[in-house]
Amino acid sequence: MSSPALDREGIARVDRNSLMADVLAIPEHLRDALWRFESAAGLMEEWDSPGGLIVAGMGGSAIGGGLARAILGDHASRPVAVARAYGLPPWATPDTTVLCASYSGNTEETLACYDAAGFVGARRVVVTSGGKLAEQARADGVPVIPIPGGFQPRAAVAYLTVATLEVAALCGVCTRMNSEVDVAASHVETLCAEWGPDGPDDGLAKTIARGINGTIPLIAGSGLTAPIAYRWKTQLNENAKLPAFSHELPELDHNEIVGWEGVDSLGPFSAIFLDDADLHPRVRHRIELTDWLVEPGAKATFRIETQGRNPVERVFSLVLLGDLVSMYVAVLRGIDPSPVAVIERLKEQLAGR
């Protein structure tokens, strides 16, 4: 039986809600995110938050916080944390800014964090497409950064990352990176043509997808690429409906690497290492050695480096690649990438209690 075609026609057969179009629109989303921030009411003046920035969110709504923190790196003069819970870190104070990120505006954990931030007197900002969060924020006079509706939350990654970067600049964590975002949008457009459905059949994204199809992928990152590895994992979970796992080097070499000794009795695994030219030289050497050590037990291994000059370009080069890989694996499996029925069932059960 021949493998499904990874072109537009082959993708359309399973991608019934056109999620691929949202992936390929990341460059447009980056540009639109800047405009939406600049047009948001109540965000005209900077303020000072010596306690740093907390991004409160869950799932696809939280990933922007992790990616923004990686982009800022050493340029962040104050802490940037991500709270994936029903409450804020205990160190949150009135000197902290809390960005409540919920694509739907109805995420119960994020609504709880919004209330907690108000209780401690922290400065609040909201990024959402609507829902209870937008309604409550507007009633409280809290600024709302509006993002367009109609997406799967995970497809709004560019909007949520840019919103975090912009709020970080407003509260004194860093300087604005709007120029870098503009440059990244153009760079990602080029990569969409190279790796997307209209690109060559032996393009990088299609090659990786075929290599890891039928396996349990383990994705490793470090520093800048650590949150991208987690993004790859969650995209494979939701789009390809596969178990996938992520870890961070050098920690991986102190535990997980030993587990590869048992893969023969468990099933096919693959390994993907996300590299970056600015990683510590010893970490880059560890990636090379770890790849070599696990390769005998893996169905496939890949070592992939970020592309681009500024951190926004480099991060979104691999965000795009991972999103495309997850979409192509879904096509190879004959699975519509959009529905997340088990999450909907979980929410229904939670709502009943």
Q: Mind listing the pLDDT tens digit for each residue in 287-336?
A: 999 999 999 999 999 999 999 999 999 999 999 999 999 999 999 999 99
Q: What is the pLDDT of residues 11-43, one digit of tens each?
A: 999 999 999 999 999 999 999 999 999 888 788
Task: Spot the catalytic one: 28, 132, 180, 347.
Answer: 347
Q: Is 347 a residue of the active site? A: yes
Q: What is the pLDDT of residues 293-306, one digit of tens each?
A: 999 999 999 999 99
Taking phi over 0 as left and psi of -120 to 50 as alpha, with beta for the rest, 121 belongs to: left
Task: Spot the catalytic one: 29, 109, 166, 238.
Answer: 238
Q: What is the pLDDT of residues 201-220, one digit of tens each?
A: 999 999 999 999 999 999 99
For position 44, what pLDDT does the model report?
79
Q: What is the pLDDT of residues 59-112, one digit of tens each?
A: 999 999 999 999 999 899 999 999 999 999 999 999 999 999 999 999 999 999
Contact 236, 242 (CB under 8 A): yes
CA atoms within 13 A on the CB side of 74: 2
Q: Is the per-residue pLDDT at 1 higher than 70?
A: no
Contact 42, 138 (CB under 8 A): no
**CA angle, corner 144, sides to 141 and 149, nearest 5?**
140
Separation CA 79–CA 157 (nearest Å): 21
Q: What is the pLDDT of residues 148-203, one digit of tens each?
A: 999 999 999 999 999 999 999 999 999 999 999 999 999 999 999 999 999 999 99
Topology alike, domains 8-16+197-333 and 40-176: yes
Fold of the CATH domain 40-176: Rossmann fold (3.40.50)
Which percentage of the chain shows pLDDT scores above 70?
Answer: 99
Domain 8-16+197-333: which CATH class?
A: alpha beta
Say what angle helices 178-195 and 311-333 make with each other, to 10 degrees.
30
Q: What is the pLDDT of residues 245-287, one digit of tens each?
A: 999 999 999 999 999 999 998 989 999 999 999 999 999 999 9
End-to-end CA distance of the chain: 47
Q: Where in the chain are the domains?
A: 8-16+197-333, 40-176
List, in sequence order, every beta strand (DSSP E) within 112-263: 123-128, 144-146, 216-221, 245-248
Length of the chain equals 353
Q: Is 238 a residue of the active site? A: yes
